[in-house]
Amino acid sequence: MWLMATIKNKQRRLFLSALMGVALLVFAVALHHHLEGARTLRAIAQAKALCGQIPTGTPRADVENVLERRGIEHSYSGDSRDLPEYAHTESAIIRNVCGAYLVTCDVVFSFKFDDRDLLKDCSAKDIYSGL
């Protein structure tokens, strides 16, 4: 009788210990995701702030210099008959702004210029990719 009670108590303690371990693991994962989400939003906001730092009317050469100094990949599309919405547009991308595990986030910029190559609009959007 005493032996059976001792075995049941050990099983109960083992079960409760395992349950506490699982609860602690779930809490740690939830906390990590919460902190990672906040860090992701900050990183995206900092990257998108680039649009606000380049005023409307800035010459294209100056915009390209800013992108070059920051090491940001970019490419210019001049006159385009096939895709007129991309005419006079400098496209840029900051890769791997954030990411965790299997998903990464890039920020893509579109700098639109007028016929005199002066900046008339800048937009930025975040793009997630992964498995």
pLDDT for the residue 28: 58
So what's the pLDDT on residue 29? 57
Whose tokens are 């699982």? That residue is 22
Kindly tell me the burial class for residue 14, based on how many C-beta atoms sit within 10 Å of its own C-beta (0-12, 13-18, 19 or more). exposed
Q: How confident is the model at residue 12, as a pLDDT? A: 77
Predicted pLDDT at 121: 92
Domain total of the chain: 1
Q: Is the pTM of this model over 0.85?
A: no
pLDDT for position 98? 76
pLDDT along the chain (131 residues), means of 10: 61 76 65 56 77 93 94 88 81 83 84 93 86 62
> Which residues constitute the domain of residue 21?
2-130
